[in-house]
Chain A
Amino acid sequence: MFKRVRGLFSNDLSIDLGTANTLIYVRGSGIVLDEPSVVAIRQRGDGASGNSSKAIAAVGSEAKLMLGRTPGHITAIRPMKDGVIADFTITEKMLQYFIHKVHDNKYWHPSPRVLICVPCGSTQVERRAIRESAAGAGARDVYLIEEPMAAAIGAGMPVSEATGSMVLDIGGGTTEVGILSLNGIVYSESIRTGGDRFDEAIIAYVRRHYSTIIGEATAERVKHDIGSAYAGKELRESYVRGRNLAEGIPRSITLNSNEVLEALQEPLAGIVSTVKGALEKIPPELGSDVAEKGIVLTGGGALLTDIDRLLMEETGLPVIIADDPLTCVARGGGRALEMIEEHGPEVFALEGL
């Protein structure tokens, strides 16, 4: 009852609780928060006496800088893994922090209606964990929407029409492929390959070929700088520093884009085969719609150079990258919230009613 009153004073939020980044879309204000899903925890008190307590040291981009660079009493962790919650309490704290950051209201505790995007492959348990995290963070109502749906709406695809639209959302932890029609998901598939896997692949490659260990942050930077999914015309190079395994001393090495491309082959093959598998399984009518219009790429993975070219060559279908692919899911969630407001929750096959 009191929550309802408080709800008058808080905005509806759409949260893209991603493995890599968390985005919050507020109705009427757009994307108001885009921060890495990283939390740094400080261990208070001395561990020896046993009365140590944990406190949040930093959340978001501040905490991301600490990743891999923390002293003993601070741990920087990513509470989301493979698109689902790995650490329940920390995720709740993080959500709480983000929701409070969005509501800079001193007098009321915010109690917004929240729509959270979940991977379509997540289990009941994982969904429940997300729902309860959000409820614990102060949400009044929690709706869950499947990521391909939100991504397609955010990209501006005609999901309500009786025509097939195929969306491929390459996120930090998961890659989702969905074929949608009439505001519903006809087929969806989720694999736990995403930006993180790309980083890991680069780390593994460098370790194998240069006997050098590089950190995740370095691998991510390499991916952004010279990563590509399809052999391009020009060869780009990047310097990275890592610890040489044989000597045990940090050394500088040079990586070129072809090497990174080679490193990324395995995760990319996984994505391509998922897309092909989806195309095989959908009904022929929808398949023809998709072939006519093409596949839309969203998510941070769409920013990998030439990934659209790779998919075009592999599938023989037109592939286009959505505008502002990083925020597609959050924006789509926001639009879905507006629709719920307007038409009631039965517009989508939403959960959590």
Chain B
Amino acid sequence: MNEKTPISHLNDEGDDTSNSKEDSEKISVAQEGEDNINDSETPKVSNQKETNDSETPKVSDKKETEVTDVIDGEKSPGSILRQAREKGNMSIKHISDRLFLDKHVIQALEDDNYEGLPPPIFVRGYLRNYAKVLDIPEENILAVLDQNENTSTPSITKNPLTPNKQTSSNDLWHSVSTVVVIVTLMILMALWQFYPSSDDISSETPGAINSDNESWPSDLDNTEINAEINTVDETAIKPAADNASTTTVTTTTVQSPPAVITVIQQTENTPAQVSPVLVNEEKTILLHFKKRVWMRVTDKTGKQLYEGISKADKALSLEGLPPFNIKVGNSGVDIEYQGEIKNIRNYPKENKSYIIGAVSTGE
């Protein structure tokens, strides 16, 4: 219906094109161009007045308004609808019955007064329905509405949301930081892999165990230590008479600090015994390998006694000045020193190396 009417209208003007829509638009644009701004109203008015046909002007009129709105933005949706309604000889009552809306709502829509009306979405819907009733393409009305006022959707909460941008993998900052993190990790991995390789592994485990013993002094540990102290006391009293064996006592008790203290106290009681220890006397240390292990042994002077990998089930005898400083790859080695065989882990540890026969010098 809409499509057909303009043709007759255009035919009246002597234009026999079939593409009514586009052409009528062109014509109106052309008119605008000719008449310029001061005459922008005239074609519309003349259309209203001179045509008696009720259908024709509605469409052409709308075309006009669309164009003029693009240029001036002065024609409002309400006035378009009101004009179309008056062309159709329809009353507000009729429209309100068709749309099931109150008359004052229709009135407000035509006056473009949206204050008392529900939120924009409803206004848009009403306008759309209104346009549908009048057979006007609804897109035009809504386009005009959008142009006239930026109808925004109501905020869901009291404070309007500011949609903060979410981080995405495309952000430059993110990709850069990712690369940095990955490269750092790779470097650390490489260091961990190629730096004194076996050393670190071994040094980790005994350290952890030692700290465990210190931080969790269970009853069992306490009794052990006490027992040790007792034995130390006994042994320490004996060496009071026997100077030479003092070092034995100290080395055996190095393991637990409290025991060391008692030993020291004991040795203080016998000051005469200290001097023989300080004598720079070469001692023999015997290493029993249980596993294949890398180790480096230095003595007090820093002289390197041994470095290399030893096979399992071998023994190695070294001579040097105590204390011996032993770095090992793993703890699969027993140390025989001063006639006692102990696993290397039972000796105190300093800077990732075990120290054998240290207390005497510490004195």
* A residues apposed to B, CB below 8 Å: 8-12, 27-28, 105, 107-108, 153, 155-160, 183, 292-294, 296, 308, 312, 316-323, 335, 338-339, 341-343, 347
Point out the residue from B118, B129, B161, B167 that lies within 8 Å of A342, measured CB to CB: B161
Point out the residue from A157, A183, A316, A343 that lies within 8 Å of B121, measured CB to CB: A157
Interface pair A339/B156, CB less than 8 Å apart = yes
Give bound CA distance, A347 to B156, whole Å. Answer: 10
Whether, in the assembled complex, B166 has its beta carbon less than 8 Å from a beta carbon of chain A, the answer is yes
Residue in A closest to B169 when the chains form the complex, CB atoms:
A9
Contact with A along B216-243 (1 / 0, CB 8 A): 0000000000000000000000000000
Whether, in the assembled complex, B120 has its beta carbon less than 8 Å from a beta carbon of chain A, the answer is yes
Whether, in the assembled complex, B99 has its beta carbon less than 8 Å from a beta carbon of chain A, the answer is yes
Interface pair A108/B169, CB less than 8 Å apart = yes
Interface pair B100/A316, CB less than 8 Å apart = yes
Whether, in the assembled complex, B128 has its beta carbon less than 8 Å from a beta carbon of chain A, the answer is yes
B residues within 8 A CB of A157?
Answer: 119, 121, 154
Give bound CA distance, A8 to B177, whole Å. Answer: 12
Residue in B closest to A343 when the chains form the complex, CB atoms:
B157
Point out the residue from B121, B125, B163 that lies within 8 Å of A28, measured CB to CB: B163
Residue in A closest to B170 when the chains form the complex, CB atoms:
A105
Give bound CA distance, A158 to B156, whole Å. Answer: 7
Give bound CA distance, A132 to B121, whole Å. Answer: 35
Give bound CA distance, A347 to B158, whole Å. Answer: 12
Q: Which 5 A-B pairs have the closest CB atoms?
A: A320-B125, A156-B153, A9-B169, A156-B121, A293-B118
Give the interface centre of B99, B121, B174 by most chain A CB atoms within 10 Å: B121
Give bound CA distance, A341 to B165, whole Å. Answer: 11
Give bound CA distance, A103 to B125, whole Å. Answer: 35
Q: DSSP class of B's interface residues: helix, strand, loop or mixed?
A: loop
B residues within 8 A CB of A293?
Answer: 118, 122
Whether, in the assembled complex, B351 has its beta carbon less than 8 Å from a beta carbon of chain A, the answer is no
Give bound CA distance, A342 to B169, whole Å. Answer: 21
Q: DSSP class of A's interface residues: helix, strand, loop or mixed?
A: loop
A residues within 8 A CB of B118?
Answer: 158, 292-294
Interface pair A339/B157, CB less than 8 Å apart = yes
B residues within 8 A CB of A156?
Answer: 119-121, 153-154
Give bound CA distance, A99 to B168, whole Å. Answer: 15
Give the interface centre of B163, B166, B174 by most chain A CB atoms within 10 Å: B166
Contacts between chains A and B (CB distance < 8 A), count: 88
Closest beta carbon of chain A to B251's beta carbon, Å: 47
Give bound CA distance, A249 to B99, whole Å. Answer: 48
Can you list 14 A-B contacts with CB-CB less than 8 angstroms, sorted by A residue number? A10-B168, A27-B166, A107-B169, A156-B153, A158-B154, A160-B157, A293-B122, A318-B99, A318-B126, A319-B100, A321-B125, A335-B156, A339-B161, A342-B161
Give bound CA distance, A176 to B55, whole Å. Answer: 40
Q: Given the interface contacts A9-B167, A9-B169, does A160 sit within 8 Å of B156 by beta carbon?
A: yes
Contact with A along B141-158 (1 / 0, CB 8 A): 000000000000111111
Interface pair B153/A9, CB less than 8 Å apart = no
Point out the residue from B121, B154, B157, B161 that lies within 8 Å of A322, measured CB to CB: B121
Give bound CA distance, A323 to B169, whole Å. Answer: 32
Closest beta carbon of chain A to B55's beta carbon, Å: 14
Contact with A along B256-292 (1 / 0, CB 8 A): 0000000000000000000000000000000000000
A residues within 8 A CB of B120?
Answer: 156
B residues within 8 A CB of A28?
Answer: 163, 165-166
Closest beta carbon of chain B to A338's beta carbon, Å: 6
Interface pair B161/A338, CB less than 8 Å apart = yes
Give bound CA distance, A293 to B126, whole Å. Answer: 10
* B residues apposed to A, CB below 8 Å: 99-101, 118-122, 124-126, 128-129, 153-158, 161, 163-169, 174
Knowing that A296-B121, A339-B157, A339-B161 touch, tell me 13 more A-B residue pairs with CB under 8 angstroms. A156-B153, A157-B121, A157-B154, A160-B157, A292-B118, A294-B126, A308-B129, A319-B129, A323-B121, A335-B156, A342-B157, A343-B157, A347-B156
Residue in A closest to B162 when the chains form the complex, CB atoms:
A342
A residues within 8 A CB of B126?
Answer: 294, 318, 320
A residues within 8 A CB of B129?
Answer: 308, 318-320
Interface pair B165/A321, CB less than 8 Å apart = no
A residues within 8 A CB of B163?
Answer: 27-28, 338
Closest beta carbon of chain A to B341's beta carbon, Å: 47
B residues within 8 A CB of A107?
Answer: 169
A residues within 8 A CB of B157?
Answer: 160, 339, 342-343, 347
Closest beta carbon of chain A to B11's beta carbon, Å: 23
Closest beta carbon of chain A to B80's beta carbon, Å: 19
Residue in B closest to A322 when the chains form the complex, CB atoms:
B121
A residues within 8 A CB of B100?
Answer: 294, 312, 316-319
A residues within 8 A CB of B122?
Answer: 293-294, 296, 320
B residues within 8 A CB of A153?
Answer: 156
Interface pair B166/A12, CB less than 8 Å apart = yes
Residue in B closest to A295 when the chains form the complex, CB atoms:
B125
Closest beta carbon of chain B to A152's beta carbon, Å: 10
Closest beta carbon of chain B to A286's beta carbon, Å: 14
Give bound CA distance, A319 to B118, whole Å. Answer: 13
B residues within 8 A CB of A316?
Answer: 100
Give bound CA distance, A155 to B157, whole Å. Answer: 15
A residues within 8 A CB of B101?
Answer: 294, 318
B residues within 8 A CB of A320?
Answer: 121-122, 124-126, 128-129
Closest beta carbon of chain A to B94's beta carbon, Å: 15
Closest beta carbon of chain B to A93's beta carbon, Å: 24
Interface pair A296/B125, CB less than 8 Å apart = yes
Interface pair A322/B169, CB less than 8 Å apart = no
Residue in A closest to B157 when the chains form the complex, CB atoms:
A160
Closest beta carbon of chain B to A279's beta carbon, Å: 13
Closest beta carbon of chain A to B193's beta carbon, Å: 23
Residue in A closest to B100 when the chains form the complex, CB atoms:
A318
Q: Given the interface contacts A156-B120, A312-B100, A317-B100, does A322 sit within 8 Å of B125 by beta carbon?
A: yes
Give bound CA distance, A338 to B99, whole Å. Answer: 35
Closest beta carbon of chain A to B31's beta carbon, Å: 32
Give bound CA distance, A108 to B100, whole Å. Answer: 55
Residue in A closest to B99 when the chains form the complex, CB atoms:
A318
Residue in A closest to B152 when the chains form the complex, CB atoms:
A156
Closest beta carbon of chain A to B171's beta carbon, Å: 9
Give bound CA distance, A11 to B118, whole Å. Answer: 34
